[in-house]
Amino acid sequence: MNPPQMAGWNLALRFALELMALIGLGIGAWSSTTGPLRWVAVVGVPVAAAAIWGVFNVLGDPSRSGAAPVEVAGWVRLGIELLILGAGVLALAIADHRNVAIGLAALIVVHYAVSWKRIRWLLDG
């Protein structure tokens, strides 16, 4: 099955969601730590999440460049996406930014609702 194409606005939304999740992870790391470890966490947690997001991909995924530095199964990729985006929401909620967390969660649901063909492709592949 050929990978489905995604609308430009949905790709832009996806990129914004990725950034918001990484920012949320940084905010959560800042709120959850103290002292010198705070600075390590606020940089390290989002960088680690971004590295995982960028490295583990499905070959030919149209929502990415199509490249896969480390090729994984579609269900694994979907799990990585949901884990990182969900962790960003959770981190914001824990850091007492509940309204922002709710908004981010709602946008994630919208993105995946309109990306159902990609989800089906990931799970069937």
Q: How big is the chain by its Cα radius of gyration, in Å?
A: 15
Integer Cα distance of 103 and 85 in angstroms? 12
Per-residue pLDDT tens digits of the chain, which is 125 residues long: 788 889 999 999 999 999 999 999 999 999 999 999 999 999 999 999 999 999 999 998 877 777 789 999 999 999 999 999 999 999 999 999 999 999 999 999 999 999 999 999 999 97
Per-residue pLDDT at 47: 98
Axis-axis angle for helices 8-32, 98-114 (nearest 10)? 150
Q: Within a 10 A sphere around the Cβ of 89, how many other Cβ atoms?
A: 26
Q: How many CB atoms lie within 10 A of CB 95?
A: 18
pLDDT at 17: 98
